[in-house]
Amino acid sequence: MTAAVLPYVAVAFGVALAFALYRMVRGPGLPDRILALDTMYVNAMALLVLFGLMLDTVLYFEAALVIALLGFIGTVALAKFLLRGDVVEID
């Protein structure tokens, strides 16, 4: 029953990924683009988990974990750059 729903959910996440890409390209400001990038990595992570469920393999779950870690670090670095204008503080 749930295996029949997974392709539709994957399409929905793909559409959400496309909308976030549009917002990242056409965003009115830098905070909007950073938020769209954050949304894109969350949607990509969800798509990988769905593909892992559909194909019954754990490789996609590990890739989703790597995307989650890199996305979090990237979001923190971009937010710090947006607030302070510098990512690495040298004293």
**Cα–Cα distance for residue pair 45/13, rounded to 1 Å:** 10
What percent of the chain is predicted at pLDDT more than 90?
52
| Residue spans per domain, the chain | 2-84
56: alpha, beta or left, given left = phi > 0 and alpha = psi -120 to 50?
Answer: left
What percent of the chain is predicted at pLDDT more than 70?
96
pLDDT band at 1; cut points 50, 70, 90: low
pTM: 0.81
pLDDT at 86 over 80: no
